[in-house]
Amino acid sequence: MRTQLMRSRLRQVYRDAADAHPGLLLQHGLKMHDEDGANKTELIERVCKTDMGDLYRGAYKRWREATSDKSRFRSTTLQLKTRLFAGLAGGGMLETGCAISHSYGAPYIPGSSVKGVVNAHVREKFRNADNGDAICNEIFGAPATEGRPAGLAGLVSFHDAWWTPNSDQRPFVLEVVTTHHPEYYGKDGKVPATDFDSPVPNAQIAVQGRFLFVLEGPPAWLDLAEQMLVDALSSRGAGAKTRSGYGLFEPMAVVEPEPSCAWVDETIAGLSSGHTSTEEQTLRGRRLAKAWAEIADPALKKEAYQDIRSRWEKNGWWETPPPGRAARDAKVIYDEWEGD
């Protein structure tokens, strides 16, 4: 039986659209409901062809910049080892869902889900360890008890995990989950499952690629929380169907390329060649900071700032500048621009 779900006038609009929000397609893009699921599969295939455009790439870059302060945040990029089902239960008429950013149309993992996975994994793993519960309560928080009616807020915040833009991979992928006993599951077990049931392939939408996980809190707790995060996601997984092997991440974090700006390299080389200072002294010195402050192009200035700051942080200079007036003066110049 075929049932029309979309008004005839809208069908033309959806068909002619050159680009569309994946979340909008999943919620309202199914034109017809049929028994064999052909229209559902066609819609999912269209969603899977979606590329993340410049709007999302710009938002992702801003998020990385906003969470780059290592005294407050820890950022870890993990590669999916198997495909991920996130938000599967929110499918509506499509009967398959995906957690998709309302603003940008990219998949994400809610921070509450990430925290729940890590919390459950760590408490189970260290339930018999000395002070295990106390440490977990500090990181994740604890519910109200008779002795602590207000409960306990966790010291570490788990932010939403952002899908990492990859040049060689799209985020969404068609996954087929075969239901071997449709009558048994469809009627809540009232019909017995037998070996004679006909399996029914069911198209689902899954996610592939990398995700950026961000933790926020006191520096003393962030390193431990990051280790817990990597261990939980690589052994327990996230999302739905983890018992079937979905949602597992690689145990090792992916090293993201550091910011790089040709202007910084060229300027350091030029300033060092005409003086007796080394390239390291030039990097942390006043002359590079003054040359950077005179850059007129806002985009180039921002790019150079990110590169310089990254190099300073790598050397441990950003929070505690190296000895010498030149380094202190340079830091003042950078901080003044940062506050604008």
pLDDT digits (tens, 9 = 90+) for 113-142: 999 999 999 999 887 777 778 888 889 988
CA count, 13 A, side-chain hemisphere, 240: 15
Residue extents of the structural domains in the chain: 3-244, 262-338
Q: Is the pLDDT of residue 71 over 70?
A: yes
Residue pLDDT, tens place only, 217-265: 999 899 999 999 999 999 999 998 888 899 999 987 776 666 678 899 8
Rounded to the nearest integer, the mean pLDDT of the chain is 82
- The pLDDT, as a whole number, for residue 41 is 80
pLDDT category, 83, cuts 50, 70, 90?
Answer: very high
pLDDT category, 34, cuts 50, 70, 90?
Answer: low
Q: What does each C-alpha distance from 63 to 37, 165, 186, 216, 237 come to in angstroms?
A: 38, 13, 43, 13, 24
pLDDT category, 275, cuts 50, 70, 90?
Answer: low
Q: Residues 312-317: what's their mean pLDDT?
A: 84
What's the pTM value of the predicted model, to 2 decimals? Answer: 0.69
> What values do phi and psi take at 162, rounded to 5?
-95, 140
Closest to 108 in 3D by CA, of 49, 42, 22 = 22
> What values do phi and psi take at 60, rounded to 5?
-65, -40
- The pLDDT, as a whole number, for residue 73 is 92
Q: Is the pLDDT of residue 339 over 50?
A: no
Question: What 8-state DSSP symbol labels residue 154?
Answer: -
Q: What does each C-alpha distance from 127 to 25, 224, 262 come to in angstroms?
A: 44, 17, 51
Three-state secondary-structure class, residue 200: strand
Closest to 135 in 3D by CA, of 215, 235, 228 = 228
Torsion sign across C-alpha atoms 268, 274, 279, 280: negative
